[in-house]
């Protein structure tokens, strides 16, 4: 299992003095969660953001027919939350659960707002993370609307380079918006073309 501490993440992404984030680190809580445990269930109001230090989470919905629709995987170094629920204080339409035993840092959304007021540098980082998240969502929507199954798969591998061995195939297919059989066909065709080179 991989591990990326939040301190290491800040050092790589924030480009700010370490003591800037002392108030942030003091308020965070670490949770050890087991595979299958939930951090958010549909109908609950999401009041937290989660940073994955080790393990793997998934963010998804379940439709009226019981079909799972995966919006995001969150491996080490990723954040996950339901921003709509937390910002508008609405019941969530989504679930967040653990695909592996995971170590997760928990941010209370009220603390994030207070810390942004106290530490403008934290606000800059938080704003950058929000815009990166929006950009990823826009790219994902565009892929689902206009890209072929193969293009979506290749983008998945680029976004999540180490997840193919960690995520069940039916969940990868759900993320891509195709059937497990369609995913198998894409992988066979890619392997066949690469083998012929």
Same domain? For 153 and 194 the reply is yes
What domain range includes position 166?
147-197
The CATH number of residue 64's host domain is 2.60.120.10
Same domain? For 88 and 135 the reply is yes
Residue 97 CB-density burial (10 A; 0-12 exposed, 13-18 middle, 19+ buried): middle
Same domain? For 34 and 95 the reply is yes
Confidence at residue 3, expressed as pLDDT on a 0 to 100 scale: 72
Residue 1 falls inside a structural domain:
no
Question: How crowded is residue 74: how many other Cβ atoms within 10 Å of its Cβ?
Answer: 24
One-character DSSP codes across 68-95: EEEEEEE-TT-EE--HHHHHHT-B-S-E
Same domain? For 169 and 196 the reply is yes
DSSP-assigned beta bridge partners for residue 69:
61
Same domain? For 50 and 106 the reply is yes
Domains in the chain, number: 2
User: Of the candidates 32, 33, 98, 30, which has an alpha carbon nearest to the alpha carbon of residue 60?
Assistant: 98
Tokens of 159: 């976004």
- The pairing of strands 57-62 and 95-98 is antiparallel
Same domain? For 12 and 97 the reply is yes
Confidence at residue 123, expressed as pLDDT on a 0 to 100 scale: 77
Same domain? For 165 and 136 the reply is no
Same domain? For 113 and 187 the reply is no
pLDDT tens, residue order, the chain (197 aa): 577 687 778 777 766 666 766 766 777 889 999 999 999 999 999 999 999 999 999 999 999 999 999 999 999 999 999 999 988 999 999 999 999 999 999 988 777 777 777 777 777 877 888 888 889 889 999 999 999 999 999 999 999 999 989 999 999 999 999 999 999 999 999 988 876 65
Confidence at residue 126, expressed as pLDDT on a 0 to 100 scale: 79
Same domain? For 128 and 181 the reply is no
Radius of gyration of the chain (CA): 18
- The pairing of strands 48-54 and 79-80 is antiparallel
Same domain? For 153 and 133 the reply is no
Same domain? For 140 and 194 the reply is no
Confidence at residue 193, expressed as pLDDT on a 0 to 100 scale: 83
Domain boundary among 146, 165, 189: 146
Confidence at residue 92, expressed as pLDDT on a 0 to 100 scale: 97
Confidence at residue 8, expressed as pLDDT on a 0 to 100 scale: 79
Same domain? For 39 and 109 the reply is yes
């Amino acid at each position: 299992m991989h591990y990326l501490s939040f301190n290491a993440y800040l050092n790589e992404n924030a480009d700010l003095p370490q003591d800037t984030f002392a108030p942030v680190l003091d308020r965070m809580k670490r949770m050890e969660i087991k595979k299958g445990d939930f951090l958010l269930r549909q109908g609950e109001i999401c009041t937290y953001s989660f940073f994955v230090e080790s393990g793997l989470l998934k963010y998804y919905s379940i439709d009226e027919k019981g079909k799972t629709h995966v919006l995001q995987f969150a491996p080490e170094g990723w954040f996950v939350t339901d921003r709509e629920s937390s910002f508008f204080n609405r019941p969530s339409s989504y679930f967040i659960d653990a695909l592996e035993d995971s170590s997760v840092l928990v941010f209370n959304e009220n603390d994030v707002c207070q810390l942004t007021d106290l530490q403008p540098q934290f606000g800059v980082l938080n704003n950058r993370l929000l815009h990166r998240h929006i950009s990823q969502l826009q790219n994902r929507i565009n892929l689902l609307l206009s890209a072929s199954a193969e293009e979506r798969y290749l983008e998945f591998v680029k976004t999540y380079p180490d997840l193919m061995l960690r995520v069940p195939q039916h969940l990868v297919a759900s993320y891509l918006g195709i059937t497990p059989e369609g995913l198998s066909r894409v992988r066979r065709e890619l392997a066949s073309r690469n083998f012929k080179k």
